[in-house]
Amino acid sequence: MVARILPAADPAALAEAVAALRAGKLVAMPTETVYGLAADATNARAVARIYEAKGRPRFNPVIVHIASLEAARHVAIFTAEAERLAAAFWPGPLTLVLPLSTASSIADLTTAGLPSVAVRLPWHPAARALLSAFGRPLAAPSANRSGHVSATTAAHVAADLGDAVALILDAGPAPLGLESTIVGLAGEAPALLRPGAIARAEIEAALGQRLADAGTDDGAPLAPGMLRSHYAPAARVRLEATDVRPGEALLAFGPPPASAANAVAVVNLSQVGDLLEAAANLFAALRTLDGKTETIAVMPIPETGIGEAINDRLRRAAAPRDA
């Protein structure tokens, strides 16, 4: 059966989404970063459906989305650093990993049993409307099959998850296109657990200190899509490509090389070399080129600003798949 896709701005669709969530079902929710696969974060059976639908390992906890800072305080313990970052970036594409409040009603499965919780207050009007109307925290990972490229349109969600989701709220392409930045404040020093839509330097400026690095640890993915292979298309991905080899598709950034004429397909993330535009196009571009070729050659992308997050996703897309 095919998924139901309804316009997020339609009040009847919103009411239907709330009813589905109350019944413990899954709803795909637009956010400014990527589409989320939402369930009632306080309902363990509903959250279990997320893991099932995504084929997600149970040790990988899910982000809790809330409608207000006040709601976040019921879920997590806010340190001074957390207050500062929330004031600077919420609502917005920042996720904070904080100590879980003992008074929280979040299901254990949502946090994978950890003493910490990832919380995020999105700015997207469709996400805000759903969170407010539902009135409870929503557990929502990206709405893609586990390990696959994240979904930035309703059609991507439908292609990955089909009728495992009761309803897809469609608000068009996700405006930022890259997941939230995740900052860990539950450990010793503030750490960048996942680079994302807000650049490291902006967060460091707001915090007044440097962020530690989380690194990659396949054994205990304390942090995020921090599994080395993630965000992966079926095709192989060749990074730092300055030419196109026979049979390859090209993911370009800026003016393409002459050998682009030989590519089986070309998508340019940003003709003018704009990193924000490239971030917004990244996941859709990988999906477009996938299936047209066995190898996607990716031109170099600068590591500055949001480029760190783009390169993070591309490195994971290029990583060996056996992990």
Cα 261 to Cα 198: distance, rounded to the nearest angstrom: 35
Q: Is 118 in the site for ligand TXA (CB under 6 A)?
A: yes
SS3 of the chain: helix, strand, coil, percent, to 5: 35, 20, 50
Tell me if 95 contacts Mg ion by CB under 5 A: no
Q: Which of 13, 66, 158, 182 lies at the binding interface for ligand TXA (CB under 6 A)?
A: 182
Q: Considering the complex, what minimum distance in angstroms separates the CB of residue 118 from Mg ion?
A: 12
Rounded-to-integer distance, Cα 98 and Cα 116, Å:
5
Shortest distance, CB of residue 188 to Mg ion, whole angstroms?
A: 26
Q: Which helix (H) or strand (E) holds 97?
A: strand 94-99
Alpha carbons within 13 angstroms on the beta-carbon side of residue 223 total 24
Find the binding residues for Mg ion in span 210-229 (CB under 5 A).
225
Rule CB under 6 A: is residue 61 a binding residue for ligand TXA? yes
Residue partners of 289: CB distance under 8 A and separation at least 6: 233, 235, 249, 251, 265, 267, 296
97, 157, 275, 298: residue in contact with ligand TXA (rule CB under 6 A): 97
83/217 with CB nearer ligand TXA: 217
Residue 92 contacts ligand TXA per CB under 6 A: no
Binding ligand TXA by CB under 6 A: which of 114, 133, 239, 260? 114
Does 142 interact with ligand TXA (rule: CB under 6 A)? yes
Contacts of 304 (CB under 8 A, 6+ apart): 275
Among residues 179 and 248, whose Cβ is nearest to ligand TXA?
179
φ, ψ for residue 249 (rounded to 5)?
-100, 155
CA–CA dist 108, 78 (Å, integer): 20
How many H-runs (helices) and E-runs (strands) does the chain carry? 9, 15
Report helix, strand or coil for 148.
strand
Please report whether residue 157 would count as binding ligand TXA according to CB under 6 A: no
Among residues 187 and 273, whose Cβ is nearest to ligand TXA? 187
Q: Which listed residue (110, 142, 293, 295) binds Mg ion by CB under 5 A? A: 142
Using the rule CB under 6 A, which residue among 8, 27, 63, 301 binds ligand TXA? Answer: 63
Least spacing, CB of residue 152 vs ligand TXA, in Å: 11
Q: Return residues touching ligand TXA (CB under 6 A).
A: 31, 33-34, 36, 60-63, 93, 95, 97, 111, 114, 116-118, 120, 140-142, 179-180, 182, 193, 221-225
